[in-house]
Amino acid sequence: MTAKEYNISVDAYSDNIFRFALKQLRNEMSAKDIVQETFTKVWIKHEEVSFEKVKSYLFTTAYHAIVDWVKKEKRNGDFEAVSDTISSEQIASCDLQEVLHEALSKLPEIQKTVVLLRDYEGYNYSEIAEITKLSESQVKVYIFRARKTLQEYIKDLDLVL
């Protein structure tokens, strides 16, 4: 990949990677750090990366950076745990997007990742499998389970409202 292609990649994908990291981490500064780290790693290996596959390579790199960040924060004890309970007052003041964010935060990391890649970023199953190093059938199972969990969570909220 040339420097010009790298710059095109930065312009084309930095916002998508930021959104992906932000939805995973729910921390704007950390998401910005993930974007920076991702593009730094890609620049270091820019001669080995083909421009045609740069999107997949970027998201794979970002995914691994997020996993490393979460592990590090949990090890340091700095990771802010999201409360498992949500009060009815909070639910009443939430809009749909906040409810979805809350529901996503309840998912295991791998399910959250595959759903975000599929439904927010528009990747197909084989691309998600390549990014996460899972089989295509595992990706489908994780997406199915995640969607089922999200559906049940939202149904439970409907009963409360």
Per-residue pLDDT tens digits for 81-121: 433 333 444 444 445 667 777 778 888 888 888 988 888 88
**Stretch(es) of the chain classified as CATH 1.10.1740:** 1-81
Residues 43-82: b if buried by 16+ CB within 10 A, e if exposed: eeebeebeeeebbbbbbbbbbbbbeebeeeeeeeeeeeee
The pTM is what?
Answer: 0.59
CATH of domain 1-81: 1.10.1740
* pLDDT at position 136: 92
* pLDDT at position 86: 39
CATH of domain 84-161: 1.10.10.10
Whether residue 151 is predicted with pLDDT greater than 50 in this model: the reply is yes
**Stretch(es) of the chain classified as CATH 1.10.10.10:** 84-161
